[in-house]
Structure 1
Amino acid sequence: MDGDFIIGGSFSLHAYMDTFYNNYSSIPKPVKCKGSIDTRGLHFSRAMIFAIEEINNNTDLLPGIKLGYQIYDSCALVPVAVHVAFQFLNSFDPVFSTGNNCSQSGMVMAVVGDSGSTPSISISRLISPFNIPQVSHFATCACLSDKQQYPNFFRTIPSDQFQAESLAKLVKHFGWTWIGAVRSDSDYGNNGMASFLQAAQKEGICVEYSVSFYRTDPQSRIQKVADVIRRSKALVVVAFASFGDMKILLEELSREPFPTRQWIGSESWVTNTELTRFSFCAGAIGFGIPKSAIPGLREFLLNLSFSEVAASSVLTEFWEDAFNCRLKKSAATVDEKVCDGNEDIQNLQSQYTDTSQLRITNMVYKAVYAIAHAIHNAVCHGKNVTTQCDKLTKLEPKQVLTELKKVNFSQNGYDVSFNANGDPVAIYELVNWQNHESGNTEIVTVGLYDASLPVGKEFRINRNINWMEDSTKVPVSVCTDSCPPGTRKVLQKGKPICCYDCILCPEGEINNITDSADCLPCHKEFWPNSKRDTCIPKPIEFLSFQDILGIILATFSVLGALLAIITAGVFFYHRTSPIVR
């Protein structure tokens, strides 16, 4: 949609792209996405359109100015994201300049997106030299907080640095010291897992295995990762993976009987309702963006006219997949029906229509409003009734970038601001996958993590958690059970510090501390008890004259005394003799 100022949007509407082998004897074909459409990504892109239309109808924010948009599909892949970045820098329409200065009419004022960290990095590196600000709703890699490399990058979702630390504290809170680690082989997964492992090491947590994969890897690689999880002894698996990658892994695990595991998930997949169909993951816990409410969004999403669907290739693809029909009769096969416009989207069960848990959607909503406020502060003057905006102002993206650093507002009760690194305040909900009476798995909020609170008070649980196999008892995941008092830990050669043997304290020594590496000797007047966990006084024994031993000792004592007296008498009697003298 055209407008006075254009905002770009980059969302992952597909997960794959066609691969062409160019011989460079002809013009290479443009990159093209393929695969089934991601209804969640479509939901995000439509939320951006909703926010822009809401702003255009707002008389307080940018009055008299119409915002337009250019939204592209990045396929969650770098080659396509690079292509999208160039579209943000150039208009499709040719622009000719007869003067010395080239026109920048094709540039967008700011960009919302991308949905992933790696595509966001690619886009940022290309548009940053042109000072075009980028506000992502779902790129969480801690690396993007580096303002020297990404000076134009902002985000409404917290950095993974906070999430990694909160996940390590969560694992420590439940006493798990022996875990498995799975990650996406991408900037999101690798950087996120590196931060988690660093935090976990400080908490004394050991990792049995750490494996990575990507959804485009060969099937043998995915199967190998699944086999590692199946053979492991660690009951707890921490998965720092994107939704698309996690979906591929869970599909592989579901093909064979899978031993029960307690899944700990990152926000990218643990709040995605599409994955709850994998029943063996019931009991999973993890951190997610807080739920929110956006008035009017559901009505906007469901208010799709048949003509609007037919005019958009993306909406056409969504409509055909959702209702298993074809808009064009010529494209339908014998077994397929033709869409007639009577399809009922109101009762459609899809992530596109699901507004029960608006988490990331709210991040898109906030990103659009942050950009709108930055443009407002750059071109509008005065407040409230006296506000005047000049849509003819030659606005440069650099001005929007400068104003974006200073935005601080509240929209629908949600505060929006950025710190020096372009990050918001980190607040997460602790969510739990719980089986409902209907047989479905629901995502339930059971706690909260607020990084702005004092140390030690950031994390709290306010509701019961259902664990794996629908148990209410916290599962145990340790390499070796705790060494009880009376024993000491001896590390197993070649294994992590969480793996050890429990050896009984040696004779004369005790230990009254669980998991101690040393035993202490008792005082000389004490000796260890049978369990060797405490020192007790040695008993005092008295001899009796009625005992045989007492009679013998008394007899020898008397005889010895008599012999001494006799010897002394003999010496005294002969005291004048030369020998004695």
Structure 2
Amino acid sequence: MNDNEDDLVAPVIIGASSSTTGIILSNLVAPLSTPIISDLASCPCLSDRAKYPNFFRTIPSDVFQSWAMAQLAIRFKWSWVGAVIANNDYGHLALQVFKKETEGKGICVDFIVPVSRATIKTDAKKAASTIQASTARITGRQFIASEAWSTSEELIKNVALLKVASGVLGVAIRSAQIPGFEHYVRSLHPSLRPHDVFLREYWKKEFGCDPVSQACNGTESLYEVHSPFTDMSQLRVTYNVYLAVYAAAHALHSLLSCPNTDTSASSCSSPHQVTPAQLLQHLNKVNVSTPNGEWFGFQGADIQPKFDLVNWQKAPDGSLRLVLIGRVDGFAIELNESTVQWSTGSSQVPVSVCTISCEPGTRKAIRKGEAVCCFDCISCGDGEISNRTDSLQCDRCPLEFWSNPARTSCIPRQQDFLSFNDTLGITLTTVAVSGAVVTTAVFVVFLYYRKTPMVRANNKELSFLLLLSLKLCFLCSLVFIGRPSVWSCRFQQAAFGISFVLCVSCLLVKTMVVLAVFRSARPGSEALIKWFGPHQQRGSVGLFTTVQIIICVVWLSVSPPEPHLDLGVQGSKVTLECAMESVLGFSLVLGYIGLLACTCLLLAFLARKLPDNFNEAKLITFSMLIFCAVWVAFVPAYVSSPGKYVVAVEIFAILASSYGLLICIFAPKCFIILLQPEKNTKKHLMGK
């Protein structure tokens, strides 16, 4: 209060340079409704309007500072950090806010070291050891400083910190120019302020003379002086004081400038009747623009949070200097990364992670009992992909697709089938063609020696027809090789079924003829041979074959095999196969062949001991045993074989049974015809 009633009395306190002081003052003058505007009290507790209705401040709450530090860690993807905090409410609250802001953002705290002023030496050593032992570094250690020490001249000039503090990023109280302030400071002179003790002491230090006790030459001026006192580039706390005074002035101006001439209104006053409650009311409404063009107003106790982002950089002379690299305005961060000097000395942003990020093609597996930032990278399995860094899971490809070798994308599965270019396809083709060629050669031999007893005695016509059917059996296996199509799927099974029935029918009729011939030799059985003449033999073969043709026609008309992709088989290749839409049709084809083969085997077995130097029934018995064994083994092999090997199994069964028939029946005959012609006589054949 001023005793001079002619002076304006403004009931407002500008000060409280700490949160503790602000709390005490606010509680003390709250009954008087006296407003307090603080420039440095940053405790978040002072934002509580219910407890501190008369408190204002021009420095942001510490909550926003911790938020800004958390945003920097998130921006630079520093997922593995350590914290050195003051062991008081200020430090613990800052850490709490930091953790809250980074929760779920992939940021983990490796260590927390509280430091107390009372035990600073012990705590400092402990902090240094913890930092040294921490794994929270990959490309060096990078410090983020709070505003409490980011602009500390004492720390910046500390030579011992040069090695570890270079590159520090800091959140600092924002700085700004105060219009006219530099001119005011530089125009100060002791002669104009003879009672200003501070100015006299500064004058002595700067110019070495005392304007009062020691005469100066009068040319001394602060306009040419470069010192912290005249440096206007770092007006931080000073600018907060300026804003506090500016807010009080505008509130007072608003209070005294009511358009209503009735000064009794509660919101207006005369210069000599200003009350704290009135000024408090107008401070709550301050909403102005400063000479710098900055919008300014209180939101409760607080103003719009603004900070500077600073960087400790090495100057050419080796010292540290403070460089402005960005600003925080509300919840927006503007940062010029190209101007940052990192602690590593590199232009690349330092990396700090517990585990290097999992590349696409792998997934993160959290280590049990450890922080979520520490994990293992596990490669995706076959048929699975991950196309993002640090993916938590691998996604399975659709059935028509498979994972590429890097497990980063799904690619169409390659269609796989038994091709003529495959090693297996080439082998089977060679065996099949060789069988057809050998059968043709046997046919030529029999045709050339068709008038010899060996050929004539073994039912010449059926032998030629058998050789023709065997050749068809060998050739029909080639239809199974190559890309399946609608017509190849239908033709291959029909060709297989009809060719083998024709072959087995010839053997069955030959066996029946042998039995009939020997039966007719008994008294009273002469008429039996009439039922097995040449016409009847050809008719029987035709009848047996016609039944198979009918089965195939009905099957292929009702539910034929169709080309189909077997998506059930896992792998980069998908089998293109002829799917059996009707298992019954295929079973009837095989069953009919099996019925004829078993009948032929039974009859041949009964005729095996008939008297003859060259009993063909024995050869048929052996051939049918091989035939039946092959096809009995075929069924389980066919069912259990994967992919294109199903087709290979069927081709193998066709070729094996065809070679068995060819060798067992015709090899002994060709041996005699070509190598033992002396046995190719009627006398030898009828020896018994």
Using the TM superposition, give the Cα deviation of residue 315 of structure 1 relative to its aligned residue in structure 2, in angstroms: 7.4
Shifted more, 175-184 versus 505-514: the winner is: 505-514
Q: Distance in 1 between matches of 2:271 and 2:7?
A: 6
1:172 equivalent among 74, 99, 113: 74
Using the TM superposition, give the Cα deviation of residue 367 of structure 1 relative to its aligned residue in structure 2, in angstroms: 0.4
Query: How many residue pairs are counted as aligned between the two chains?
Result: 434
Q: Deviations over 1:89-111 (max 9, x none)?
A: xxxxxxxxxxxxxxxxxxx8222
3-state SS in 1 of match to 2:177:
coil
Using the TM superposition, give the Cα deviation of residue 365 of structure 1 relative to its aligned residue in structure 2, in angstroms: 0.8
Using the TM superposition, give the Cα deviation of residue 523 of structure 1 relative to its aligned residue in structure 2, in angstroms: 4.7
3-state SS in 2 of match to 1:121:
helix
Q: Does 2:14 align with 1:112? A: yes
Q: Distance in 2 between matches of 1:214 and 1:532?
A: 52
Q: Distance in 1 between matches of 2:600 and 2:336?
A: 100
Mapped contact 1:179–1:208 kept (Cα < 8 A): yes
Which residue of the partner structure matches residue 334 of structure 2? 460
Gap change, CA 1:542 and 1:155, over 3 Å in 2 = same
TM-score, normalised relative to structure 1: 0.63
2:149 equivalent among 269, 292, 300: 269
Mapped contact 2:44–2:61 kept (Cα < 8 A): yes
1:430 equivalent among 309, 324, 327: 309
Using the TM superposition, give the Cα deviation of residue 482 of structure 1 relative to its aligned residue in structure 2, in angstroms: 0.8
Which residue of the partner structure matches residue 355 of structure 1? 232
Q: Does 2:281 align with 1:399? A: no
Q: Deviations over 1:245-268 (max 9, x none)?
A: xxxxxxxxxxxxxx9532223334
Identity of aligned residues (%): 34
The structure richer in strand per residue is 1
Q: Distance in 2 between matches of 1:319 and 1:223?
A: 42
Q: Deviations over 1:117-174 (max 9, x none)?
A: 3332233233323322111112223222110121111112222333333332222222
1:294 equivalent among 178, 195, 198: 178
Q: Does 2:411 align with 1:509? A: no
Mapped contact 2:344–2:350 kept (Cα < 8 A): no
Using the TM superposition, give the Cα deviation of residue 468 of structure 1 relative to its aligned residue in structure 2, in angstroms: 1.4
3-state SS in 2 of match to 1:223:
helix
Q: Does 2:6 align with 1:122? A: no
Q: Distance in 2 between matches of 1:373 and 1:523?
A: 69
Give the number of the structure whose alpha-carbon radius of gyration is greater. Answer: 2
Q: Distance in 2 between matches of 1:474 and 1:570?
A: 81
Which residue of the partner structure matches residue 225 of structure 1? 127
Query: 1:407-486 alignment to 2 at 5 Å?
Result: 407-413=286-292, 415=294, 417-451=296-330, 458-462=332-336, 464=338, 465-486=340-361
Of structures 1 and 2, the one with the larger relative CO (CA 8 A, separation 6+) is: 1
Which residue of the partner structure matches residue 461 of structure 2? none
Gap change, CA 1:460 and 1:146, over 3 Å in 2 = same
Using the TM superposition, give the Cα deviation of residue 368 of structure 1 relative to its aligned residue in structure 2, in angstroms: 1.5
Gap change, CA 1:265 and 1:573, over 3 Å in 2 = closer
Q: Distance in 2 between matches of 1:549 and 1:264?
A: 73
Letter in 2 for 1:185: N
Q: Distance in 2 between matches of 1:159 and 1:176?
A: 24
Mapped contact 2:80–2:353 kept (Cα < 8 A): yes
Q: Distance in 2 between matches of 1:546 and 1:226?
A: 72
Q: Distance in 2 between matches of 1:205 and 1:570?
A: 76
Using the TM superposition, give the Cα deviation of residue 324 of structure 1 relative to its aligned residue in structure 2, in angstroms: 13
TM-score, normalised relative to structure 2: 0.54
Gap change, CA 1:306 and 1:115, over 3 Å in 2 = farther
Using the TM superposition, give the Cα deviation of residue 398 of structure 1 relative to its aligned residue in structure 2, in angstroms: 2.5
Letter in 1 for 2:292: G
Gap change, CA 1:282 and 1:65, over 3 Å in 2 = farther
Q: Distance in 2 between matches of 1:472 and 1:573?
A: 89
Query: 1:232-251 alignment to 2 at 5 Å?
Result: 232-235=134-137
Letter in 1 for 2:251: A
Q: Does 2:241 align with 1:364? A: yes
What value does the CA root-mean-square deviation take over the aligned residues?
4.3
Using the TM superposition, give the Cα deviation of residue 213 of structure 1 relative to its aligned residue in structure 2, in angstroms: 2.3
Query: 1:325-340 alignment to 2 at 5 Å?
Result: none
Using the TM superposition, give the Cα deviation of residue 494 of structure 1 relative to its aligned residue in structure 2, in angstroms: 1.8
Using the TM superposition, give the Cα deviation of residue 218 of structure 1 relative to its aligned residue in structure 2, in angstroms: 4.2
Gap change, CA 1:382 and 1:540, over 3 Å in 2 = closer
Q: Distance in 1 between matches of 2:294 and 2:66?
A: 23
Q: Which runs of 5+ in 1 are unaligned?
A: 6-63, 68-107, 237-258, 328-338, 453-457, 576-581
Q: Does 2:81 align with 1:206? A: no
Q: Deviations over 1:190-239 (max 9, x none)?
A: 33332222111143321112333243444212322233223222249xxx
